[in-house]
Amino acid sequence: MSQYLIASDLDNTLLNAEHRVDALTRDTLRTLSARGHVIALASGRHYHDIAAIRRQLDIPAWIISSNGAHVHDAEDGVVSDTLVPTALVRALVDLPRPASVRLNLYTRDRWLIDAEAPELLPLHAMTGFTYQVDEMDDLDNEHVGKVLYIGEPALLKPLELILRERHGEALHITYSAANSLEIMQRGVNKATALSRALKALDLPTGRALAFGDNFNDVEMLTLAGHAYVVSNAHPAVIDQLPHATTIGAHHESAVAHALREFFALE
């Protein structure tokens, strides 16, 4: 069979309910990688967070991190690196926000947060990657790929409206979950990252399979020749992707089952 690029979101898509890779998913990806197909882990997570998951999979996967701000090939070569300009990062840091909304910056090397948020730690327990509390008053030497606000959806919506009004033409604004409002440089999304990977591999979009569940996956799923949404996806995402195939839920190893069917694995 011809070589394919298989790109999958992680949380609520490839990972199970405990935010871990189950045995069937691990074995399926290892088998496909051994057969020459390219795996890309495409997530809003930080590069170092995803790299830890790749080590557990023990496959030479590409990494699309911070919703496409950074793209690394299987040998950790930097394919693309698109940062939010420092002036815009400062504007986002200075934007008034409710006290319960946590401001986060993903730099090339670190995850910075404005206050302790222990409720976020279980999501990253498998990787051990964690935040550093920072006052964010010195940003000149930081290299920020993504800014995110984490909080109750009702508190994030007014922030989103302000951001779109003030910076909508300069930034890409999306959600990776109902409680996670994410901001990257304009033009940064998982689709542009996937396009760069396909170009580097000399593969057409028809040889790309993509899996996702939320708004930050829509562009990638629109681009891929074979698009799949998990049944636990946001309903509006499913509605936006009538060409995509809806599969089972993430906690049912749905991505693995879909791949095994597509590639006729025993």
The tens digit of pLDDT for each residue in 175-223 reads: 999 999 999 999 999 999 999 999 999 999 999 999 999 999 999 999 9
pTM: 0.97
pLDDT at residue number 191: 98
Containing H/E element for 241? none
Containing H/E element for 1? none
Q: Is the pLDDT of residue 113 over 90?
A: yes
CB 134 within 8 A of CB 113: yes
pLDDT at residue number 46: 98
Mean pLDDT of 60-72: 98
Looking at residue 105, its amino acid is: L
Mean pLDDT of 239-260: 97
Q: pLDDT-based confidence at 266, cuts 50/70/90?
A: confident
pLDDT at residue number 104: 98
CB 224 within 8 A of CB 251: no
With a CB cutoff of 8 Å and minimum separation 6, the contacts of 250 are 12, 13, 14, 15, 16, 17, 213, 230, 232
Tell me the CA distances in angstroms from 96 to 19, 138, 184, 200, 220, one per residue in order. Answer: 32, 18, 19, 41, 32
CB 6 within 8 A of CB 38: yes
How many other C-beta atoms lie within 10 A of the C-beta of residue 139?
17
The tens digit of pLDDT for each residue in 153-167 reads: 999 999 999 999 999
Whether 9 sits among the annotated catalytic residues: the reply is yes
Catalytic residue, from 9, 49, 73, 134: name it.
9
Both tokens assigned to 184: 């990257």
Q: Does domain 5-81+188-262 have CATH number 3.40.50.1000?
A: yes
Q: Where in the chain is the domain with CATH 3.30.1240.10?
A: 86-185
Q: For residue 224, how far is the Cα from the chain centroid?
A: 15
pLDDT at residue number 210: 98
Q: Is the pLDDT of residue 1 over 90?
A: no
Give the whole-angstrom CA distance, residue 145 versus residue 124. 19
Q: Where in the chain is the domain with CATH 3.40.50.1000?
A: 5-81+188-262
CB 224 within 8 A of CB 245: no
Q: Is the pLDDT of residue 248 over 90?
A: yes
The tens digit of pLDDT for each residue in 78-96 reads: 999 999 999 999 999 999 9
Both tokens assigned to 63: 């990494």
Q: Does domain 86-185 have CATH number 3.30.1240.10?
A: yes
Measure the CA dihedral 202/204/207/208, to 10°.
90
Q: How many Å from the N-terminal Cα to the C-terminal Cα in the chain?
A: 15
Both tokens assigned to 210: 């993509």
Phi, psi of 154 (to 5 degrees): -65, -25
pLDDT at residue number 245: 98
